Amino acid sequence: MKGGLGNLMKQAQAMQENMQKAQEELANIEVVGEAGGGMVKLVMTCRHDVKSVTIDPELMDNAEDKDILEDLVAAAMNDAVRKVEKTSQDKMAGLTGGLNIPGMKMPF
């Protein structure tokens, strides 16, 4: 029994180290959220830091398009957030594969 517990503790420590490394890697991964058929693009890291926003010049030509532009920026942001969540979930999913503790649920 003692060997099993010691092995379980080693697995938990290894998983914690792997999770920390994965989180550090995620901070450097960038995703691109798009809206309006690519007229608005937003680059975001997997830490939800927005790196850049690109707006097609055609959207800037007409003052009436301000509301549309604001909606497209919000849509691009939401697209990027969904991609960050998916990328993060995929990255973390493999880390818990070797450790099976009944009743333990991971936050992802």
Cα–Cα dist 100/96, whole Å = 8
DSSP 51: E
Helix and strand element counts for the chain (H, E): 2, 3
Q: What are 63-69's contacts with CB under 8 Å, separation 24+?
A: 68/36, 69/40
* pLDDT value, residue 108: 42
Is residue 1 pLDDT above 90, yes or no? no
- The predicted model gives 48-58 an average pLDDT of 88
Q: What is the pLDDT, as a whole number, of residue 7?
A: 84
Q: What is the pLDDT of residue 58?
A: 83
Residue 39 predicted with pLDDT over 60: yes
Q: Give start and end residues of each alpha helix (H) in 27-100.
A: 66-93
Mean predicted lDDT score pLDDT of the chain: 81
For 83-94, the pLDDT digits (tens) are: 999 988 887 777
pLDDT at 60 over 70: yes
Domains and CATH numbers, the chain: 2-94 (3.30.1310.10)
